[in-house]
Structure 1
Amino acid sequence: MNMSRFILCISLLVIALLSSGCANGKQQEPVAPEIPWQESTDSSCSYFYFLWGSNAEYDERYDEALEAYEKASICDPDADYIAEKIPVLLIQLGRLEEAAAWLEKYIAGRPDKTVQRFILARLRILEGKEDEAIQIYREALEVEPDNANIQLRLGLLHGKKGEFEVAENIFKAILEKDRNSYFALLYLARLYTENNELDKAEQRYLEALQLNWSKELSYEIADFYNLRKQFDKARQVYEDVLKKDERDEGAALGMVQTYLFLEEAEAALEELTRLRQFSNNPDKIDLVRSQILINLGENEAAKKILTFLVKEKALSQANYLLGVILYDESDFEEAIKVLQRVEPGAPEYRDSIMLQVRILEESDKSEQSIKLLQNALEDEQTRLPSFYSWLASIYQQHDNMEKALETLAEGIVVYENDESLLYEYGILQEKTGNHELAMQLMEKILVLNHNHADALNFIGYSWADDNINLQKAYEYIGRALELKPDSGYILDSMGWVYYRLGAFDKAETELLKAAELEPEDPYIYEHLGDTYRALNDKEKALHYYRKSLEYLTDDQKSTTIQNKINTLDDHS
């Protein structure tokens, strides 16, 4: 590069860096050097534009930064630090296709560059193209076969896709070469946890902790133990953290939670009292203390704390908890006053409205509870989907199905994709005899969320009850049962579809499980009666038909069951 061009670039750098360079009080824009379009490398020119781009990026002038980086790249096409900036900025600007095209072109000319492959792989993941990302990582491994960072990313991606064995083998291969690979141990522990191989997960967690102790990992391991209900082990982990730093608030609160799991409320209160002495947020500690005191039935002690927090701090959560105590003490009038102080937008606002509605309903003041919800629904700032549900529920309790349907329909207009509202609206349509619309609503829910267990169960049971689409009904109910394995109602549906398929022994098994979970459901007992009748066990059939009658409130349905009993008795 000639000397005059070098002097020009250095001069412009000085101008760009000096914010005081003004003429007549006005800041002067630096004059950019002419870009050398030939294939030569001009590092000073490149660096000038790189600094310009960095300054623009810092000030969040991303378009200007991108233009500067692109010019820097022209000056020095082989500068990796620039090649890493351009695609990231394109992604930040939402120009994903351009970013991908830029990266693919760059990689094609420089197949040994792995950083750009990482960026392209992350971009493909953002686009949901995980298989392409995996291929990119594998191509990067061909360039750097011993690069553990690439292997880790590849293992994480396979784990995300649910390809457990592939991910496990990748992490194990890393550990075979390096027993001290902290991230391989950590990711393997998380992988085992997700796959419910908890003993293996614990082993890897402890190896990672021994290799590189940190309080963050300690918290994760304590959570792991709490999920396994191994509360003594969780407590030991928190104790180890507190031995290193007795003022660690995260560990102290974790210890409190573990004490509560162990039903050692007094120990939890002692730990909170200790923590409060040096906590940066004593109000939060006091709120937790008051909640524990409420659970212990020590309302007066809790009220003392909460009254202070209400008067001195005006905390919405304190108002709500105070309202809970007053409700428990049946001081409904005062509870309503306190709950009304919870402002819209506060995390407790929804629960405060719900508790006010409950108080008004228990006080036989339905008109006021309806008005309360109607007022909340009129204002966009206070409107919530659940308020439509509660209002519809009140109308149903008073046998006003028309208003209940109208309320839910209004809610769906405002929240057209709210699964809960759609489901409740569908159930109410079913109750009022509009089965076809109910099925349409359930199908819409499955478009929004194909794993909505209750919608799957509704459709599957409806098909089974109509004795149609039985194989598909079995598939739907099976998926619902995977999502909610302890649901007595879904187990009843599975038993009923088995009945329709003629698999009476399997029907019996599922229906008995359902009856154990829902011992007061008359329809499960009716299905059991039908199943034992099909199995020619008249005695058990009569037993369950009669149990069904015990819990039925529908006169028409009772007549149907009685007719089944009479039919069996006539054939005695």
Structure 2
Amino acid sequence: MKRQLLQFIIPMTALALSACSSMPQQPEQVEFQYPQSDGFSGNFLAGKAAQIESQSNYAAQYLLRAHELDPDNAELRRRAFLALISDGRMADATDIATQLQAENSEDLFAALTVMDAAIGENRYQDAIDVVAALPQRGINALISPLAKAWLYAGLNAPEQALTALDEMQGNGSLTPLSEYHRGLILAYFDDLDGAERALASAYGDPADAPLRAAEALGAVYERKGQVQKAALLYASYMDRHPQSLAMPFHLARLERGEPPLATMLPPAAGLAEAYLDIATLLSQENAVEPSLLMARYSLSLRPYDDITRLLVGEIMEIQGRFNTAIDVYGAIPHASPHSWNARLRIASSLEQIGESDKAIKILQDMVDERKDRPDALIQLGDILRIQGQYSEAASAYNKAIERLGGDTLVGWRLLYRRGISHERAGDWKKAESDFLLALEIEPEQPYVLNYLGYSWVDMGMNFDQAENMLKRAVELQPDDGYIVDSLGWVYYKLGRFDDAVEQLEKAVELKPDDPTINDHLGDAYWQIGRYHEARFQWHRALSFNPTTELRTTVEAKINGQVPSVAPTVVN
């Protein structure tokens, strides 16, 4: 369904960004500093810069101040408004939204904000009037039927609510979403048989449906007293999705004889669910900013929904706003079935802002908390490996592989990561074994071919195999500078310096700022008598922040201490 919805999503993306510059994603390593000014220009430029950096909190602060200084500036008004919505400040955005809607009744986000305020005051008819004024094209063709359906539910008008959903029936790609919300609305009006039919048919096999749809159907079974049927659904879903945390939670709840978490969604929460569905689709299409806006609208109507919080946190990470992501994830209570994923994401965000020790502590606690799950161990291994703690990383991967059933039952990626850790820790025998086993599982995996082939060359062994591996890796990934560099380096080791130069020049074109690749090209130039170019490449290598070891080696070569190279003899 996702690709078919692209026709709706593209116009929305354009609409959301029409008042903003493009928004490159940059890591939030330090707190942004913007110029302090009492004047219009300073506040406007600071707000615009913050908006470009996806720092909606700063953007809202400065653009609102600029708007106060120039209240008749329509473009500025909408910039400030979008920044407020991105930051989740719906109440602060309402007055501006009312003005924007008066100026343009087709402004979708202004309309949604005005609707949000009306719903908060139980003025469902006023909200219907707002959505009815929107043109039925683009993303509105998806939002309007869902919104009207839940707003009519708020007016206790089930027939009109279900009729509104019929507007989506002409597009086959929207039918599953329409039937899902039909089931939720029928459940709200206590038509459990109708809700069961709609929810069971919405996505085909319920065990393969989205999590929320499977949970909704299970809740209907429970409300009908069909607890065993609900348990069978939860167990079937878990069989298809073994890493699911929600279904074990529901099965444990059933064993304790507890009721469903939500017996029905009231209208405001139902509309929030529709907004979340749209936000998720937008996120899947990499429409980051519109996805955030829709997720904010969802949270404004249903503030404590953990799946929506997870989505907002993920978007914060994409935007490089890791501190904000940590706050969002941290609001998910420990008792929630989604707490585990939230804590994994907190650890990832902490690692991104340089607080690896805190991340490691969180993951170590999680490893002990759930001895049946490998994911915290894998993430712990990744962070330890990045931090250069290779033996500890290999140990974490070992435990994860044990939890997954052993070496032969895991994919190549985990063996590859453990192999790198073993190699960096100096245990080549174990590393080689992991790489070879990874290639048994995935013979054409270019990264494994590259790492093993390069390692063999660097150790002066298996040159023929290594050359064949690296040639194949280059065929599979011709635009990967590191893999092309590896092939060039095997030619260098074999004394085929002209071939080495050819490959290493390609590698430098692909990765111009890598110090090791530039150093390699300098070495190859030197061997064919292109001394000035060799020194130039070595100087370039020094300009790209090489390791201390590489810097020492390169400086020695620049100062005339170039080691002689005896071509390796291949028997």
TM-score, structure 1 normalization? 0.48
Larger Rg: 1
Structure number with the bigger relative contact order (C-alpha 8 A, sep ≥ 6) is 2
